[in-house]
Amino acid sequence: MKAVSFVYDCDMISVLERDKWLAALRPGGMRELFEHLPNTLFFVKDSQRRLMAGNQAFVERCGYASDAEMIGHVDKEIFSEELATKYGTDDREVIRTGNSLIGMVELFPNQLGDPEWYITDKVPLYTAAGELAGLCGTVRSYEGAREALQPYLDLVPVIDYLKEHYRGNVSIPAMAQLAGVSVRVLQRRFQETLKTTPREFIMKLRIHAACERLNGTQDNMTEIALDVGFYDHSVFSRQFSRLMGISPSAYRRRSKAR
Q: Which of 18, 22, 19, 59 is CA-nearest to residue 42? A: 59
CATH number for the domain spanning 243: value is 1.10.10.60
Per-residue pLDDT of 157-176, as tens digits, reads 999 999 999 999 889 999 99
* Identity of the amino acid at 15: V
One domain for residues 224 and 179: yes
Does residue 148 belong to any structural domain of this protein?
no
78 and 187 within one domain? no
Q: Is the entire prediction scored with pTM above 0.85?
A: no
In a domain, 128, yes or no: yes
Q: Which domain holds residue 61?
A: 2-142
Residue 167, C-beta contacts closer than 8 angstroms, at least 6 positions apart: 206, 209, 227, 228, 229
Residues 122 and 179 in one domain: no
As a whole number, mean pLDDT of residues 33-42 equals 83
Q: Which residue has the higher pLDDT, 145 or 1?
A: 145
Question: What does the pLDDT average to over 183-195?
Answer: 91
pLDDT, tens only, 46-79: 999 999 889 999 999 999 998 889 989 999 999 9
Task: List the one residue out of 188, 105, 103, 198 whose CA is nearest residue 151.
Answer: 188
Taking 50 as the threshold, does the pLDDT of residue 1 lie above it? no
Q: Assess whether pLDDT exceeds 80 at residue 31.
A: no
Whether 119 shows a pLDDT value over 70: the answer reads: yes
Work out the average pLDDT over 79-98.
94
Mean pLDDT for the stretch of residues 209-231: 92
- 251 inside domain: yes
Is it the case that residue 107 has pLDDT exceeding 50? Answer: yes
Predicted local distance difference test score (pLDDT) of residue 128: 81
In a domain, 152, yes or no: no
Supply the mean pLDDT for the chain: 84
**Residue 8 shares a structural domain with residue 131:** yes
Identify the CATH number of the domain in which residue 134 sits: 3.30.450.20
Mean pLDDT along residues 171-191: 91
Whether residue 134 is found in the same domain as residue 191: no
The total domain count for the chain is 2
Residue 147 falls inside a structural domain:
no
Rounded Cα distance, 78 and 50, in Å: 11
Tell me 134's DSSP state. E
Kindly state whether residues 33 and 74 are assigned to the same domain. yes
The residue among 110, 142, 174 that closes a domain is 142
**Closest Cα partner for 103 from 122, 121, 129?**
121
